[in-house]
Structure formats: C-alpha cells, structure tokens
Amino acid sequence: MIALADLARQQGARALIVPPANAPEAALIPNLTIWTASNLKQLVQQLKGECPIVRIEHNPSPQPATPAAKTLDHLGLGIEGMDRAAHALALAAAGGHHLLMVGPPGCGKTHLARHLPLLLPPLTTSESLTITRIHSVAGEFDASEPLLHQRPFRSAHHSCSGAALLGGGHTPKPGKISLAHGGVLFLDELAEFPRRVLDLLRQPLEDGNVRLSRSRETTVFPAAVTLVAATNPCPCGWHGDSTQACRCTRAQRQRYWQRLSGPLLDRIDLQLRLERRSSKQMRSCLEATPSPQTHSAWLKPSRVKAARRRMRTRNPRGCSNRFLTTADLHRYGQFEANGLTLWERVIEQRRLTTRSSLQLLRVARTIADLNGQDTVPTEAIADASGFRCTDLMADHSAGAESR
C-alpha cells in the first residue's frame, strides 16, 4: 500500500481512500490526506453525508534512538584481536565495498558479518520510506513498526533459488537482495551456491537494482546492498590452517573455486583471509573486561561517518568510493606517484583484471578517507593489495588457467 500511496502523491493526488487496515501504511506518505472506507457501500454513504468521513492525518513512525548509540556496547564483542577483519568491516561500511571472507569453520565469519550494519550510519527519512515500501510490496509490512528505521541484514542459504534471491513470481515481488536494499546481504558458504544463481547477482551488484522481465513488462526493484560473503577455503574447510591438515586434493580445491566465476569475484572489492584464533587468544578475550575502549580503533561509527562525509563532499554525485569511475579516480583520487608505481607492479605480479585493478585503487582511496587523508599515500595502496587474498586463491587461479 505504501508504494501505491507514494505513486498517487507523485502523480499529483491530494487524497486517497483506503480500507481501514491499510490506513497506517498509507499515512506514512507526507502531503497526502488519507480517508478510510471499509467497502464501496460505506464510501457511497460517506459521499452522501449519511455517515462521517474518517480522515487519517500523516503520522510518521517516530525516529528511534540512533542504532549506533543503542548497540555501541555490543560493537566489537567477540572479535577482539581480529584487527584486520575489523579494518575490512570499516572499509566496507565507509566505501560501500563488497566483502568476501575466506576461512576455516569457526573462525567467526558469520559473527563478523553481523557487525557490519552496526557501523553503517542511521537511515534518512527518504531511505526509511524506500526500504519500508520494498517490504510492503513483499507483504512484510509490520503495523507495529510502520516505518523501518534499522538497516536491513538479510542472509541467504546456499539452497536459495534465483527467484528467491532476485525476486519474481506472476505478480513480481522483491527477493532477498531487494529486501536488503540500504543494508547488508550475507551469503554464507558462497562456494556451495549453484554457479548459475551466483552469476545472476552480477548485474544487481553493478547497477544497484534488479530488473525482472515478464512477458512484455519489466519491473525494477532497488537493490543497492553491501554484499558480505563467506566461504571455506576448500571442501573440507581446512586448507591453509596452521593446526589441522587439509584432506582435499589439489583437483578438489580447484573444482571448489571454479564454482565462483571470475566476473563475480571481480565485483568483490575486499577478499579477506581469516585464521582461527588460538585457545590462548580465546581465553584472553573471555577474561578481558569488554568495553568500547578495548575494541579495535576501526570499529567506531563516528570514524566511518567522517569518512563517508569526506566522500560526499569530494566525489561527483556524492557517491561512495565503490562507484568511482576511471575518470573519477583520475580527477579525485589524489594518488602519490610512488603509490601508482606500486599499483602497476601489483597488477603485473598478480595478473589482475582491469576491474580488479581499479577496485584496488578505490579501496586505497577509502583507506585514506578512514585515516582522514586528502592524498592517498603509497602505504594505502600496499594495504589495499593485502585485501586481495591472492595467496589463498592460488589454487583457483591455477584452475582457471587450465580451463
């Protein structure tokens, strides 16, 4: 209903008549008078003056306390000592970069993913309306919380179909990626997804929307998400682990990574290798007194907010760094000459694609923004190259060469 009410307002309507059950939803749209009628008979009686017209005033859902303020005490709990992972989360939150975490079972991939929404800034009223509208179309409107104020976090199991992920149906409804619009879409066990399903994500991740074509009609749903994906390094999960031996053959590892197409991996800016923490590290975390002061310096929403403010001020269209074009990077990147020399060397050594090469620069720009730097130093490019996870993906590269 909120989508219909908003469309009516956009087309110049000043009032809308809806059933009483839909009034709270329609009343979220500003500058639109809402009247209610249970049926056409009652509407006719109202127009004849035989019964009163019930008018509902615009009544936006009250803005709750800032999510960051409510959850700050929980931010960082359980990931003490994982500073590299915390840095990756801050980069994803600040620059809108997609993130892939690769590591053995129990290293904290899912727990880390759930921290990302806590670093994102509160929703604006416009964003809240858009997200609420998507959930309304999907049939998930909650009258107890008419206007959604929390950034979505949606997860999908590897058995998820393409229609469930992207949307579909005789009357098109949004899928999980659209329900995560403005927030985080988490795909656990990424390499277990059918490759054909994962390849469907390439266009939405690039364009920020989903286009569903049925007969002669095309429906477009918003899908501007930050993708967070997690996967084991191999079928048994222990390749590269320092304490447990991998049981997979090289051929099995190659087939495992071949499930992930190169074009999809090229769209994931941050590729992070995770290790299991030792029992000593776990005990230290358990015995430490948790407080925001003991958490990683990267897990500060204020730091992410400042970096995003720098991007809005500097970047064309106020876009995040993930969307900077080649021309934008040339004009606004402000890279040190030595840093670009290092960048060229990394491209040659790792045989990066054009897309991956530019992503490295975008991540480096975000690293500098998080550090409050106008110029991107050489150290930021070196740091960004460390988020490519190429050491762990060597088997995948070998498999790609043999195809």
DSSP 171-223: TTEE-HHHHTTTSEEEESSGGGS-HHHHHTTHHHHHHSEEEEEETTEEEEEE-
Q: Let me know if residue 224 belongs to a domain.
A: yes
Output the average pLDDT for the chain.
Answer: 84
More confident call, 144 vs 343:
343
The reply to whether 78 falls in a domain is yes
Dihedral sign from CA coordinates of 346, 351, 353, 356: negative
Q: Does residue 135 carry a pLDDT above 80?
A: yes
Instruction: Bin 291: left if φ > 0, else alpha if -120 < ψ < 50, else beta.
Output: beta
Rounded CA-CA distance 99/78 in Å is 19
The structure tokens listed for 235 are 């079928």
Residue 285's contacts (CB-CB under 8 Å, 6 or more residues apart) are: 78, 80, 81, 277
Residues 6+ apart with CB under 8 A from 289: none
> End of a domain among 277, 294, 311?
294
Within this chain, do residues 52 and 93 fall inside the same structural domain, yes or no? Answer: no
Q: 127 and 275 share a domain? A: yes
Same domain flag for 11 and 116: no
Residues 112 and 261 both lie in one domain: yes
Range of the domain at 38: 2-56
- If asked whether residues 94 and 157 sit together in one domain, one would say yes
Ramachandran area for residue 191 (φ above 0: left; ψ -120 to 50: alpha; else beta): alpha
- Quick check: helix, strand or coil at residue 36? strand
Lowest-pLDDT range of 58-62, 103-107, 147-151, 188-192: 58-62
CB contact set of 233 (below 8 Å; sequence gap of 6+):
102, 103, 104, 239, 240, 253, 392
Strand partners, 155: 186
* Mean pLDDT lowest among 157-161, 272-276, 316-320, 345-349: 272-276
The answer to whether residue 393 is domain-embedded is no
In a domain? residue 102:
yes
Residue 185 pLDDT more than 80? Answer: yes
pTM of the model: 0.84
Q: What length does the chain have?
A: 403
395 pLDDT exceeds 60?
Answer: no
CATH number at residue 320: 1.10.8
> Domain total for the chain?
3
Measured CA to CA, the distance from residue 329 to residue 366 in angstroms comes to: 12
Give the residue carrying structure tokens 């008419």. Answer: 146
The CATH number of the domain holding residue 215 is 3.40.50.300
Residue where a domain terminates, one of 243, 260, 294: 294
- Shared domain check, 203 and 73: yes
Q: Could you tell me if 237 and 129 lie in one domain?
A: yes
Q: How far apart are CA 339 and CA 285, in angstroms?
A: 37
For 152, how many CA atoms within 13 A lie in the half-sphere containing its CB?
A: 28
Tens digit of each residue's pLDDT (9 = 90 or more) over 76-98: 555 666 889 999 999 999 999 99
- CA distance linking residue 236 with residue 247, whole number of Å: 6
The two tokens of residue 125 are: 């009223």
Q: Are 238 and 247 in contact (CB under 8 A)?
A: yes
In a domain, 343, yes or no: yes
- Residue 333: pLDDT over 70: yes
Position 380 scores a pLDDT of 97
224 and 209 in contact (C-beta within 8 Å)? yes
Better-predicted residue by pLDDT, 263 or 24: 263
Q: What's residue 44's pLDDT? A: 87
CB atoms under 10 Å from CB of 385, counted, come to: 20
Q: What is the pLDDT of residue 111?
A: 87
In a domain, 226, yes or no: yes
Q: Residue 225: its pLDDT value, please? A: 96
Q: Verify that 330 and 248 share a domain, yes or no.
A: no
Examine residue 61 and state whether it is found in any structural domain, yes or no.
no
How confident is the model over 68-76, as a mean pLDDT? 49
Could you tell me if residue 240 is inside a domain? yes
Residue range 138-163, pLDDT digits in tens = 888 776 677 788 899 999 999 999 99
Q: What is the pLDDT of residue 74?
A: 55
Considering the domain architecture, whether residues 222 and 350 belong to the same structural domain is answered as no
Q: Which whole number is the average pLDDT over 47-63?
A: 73
Give percent of the chain with pLDDT exceeding 70.
85
316 and 222 in one domain?
Answer: no
210 and 280 belong to one structural domain: yes
Same domain assignment for residues 96 and 120: yes
Cα 366–chain centre separation = 16
Query: Which of 294, 318, 342 lies at the terminal end of a domain, its last residue?
Result: 294
Pairing, β 54-56 against β 33-36: antiparallel
Separation CA 153–CA 209 (nearest Å): 17
Say what the pLDDT of residue 279 is.
Answer: 63
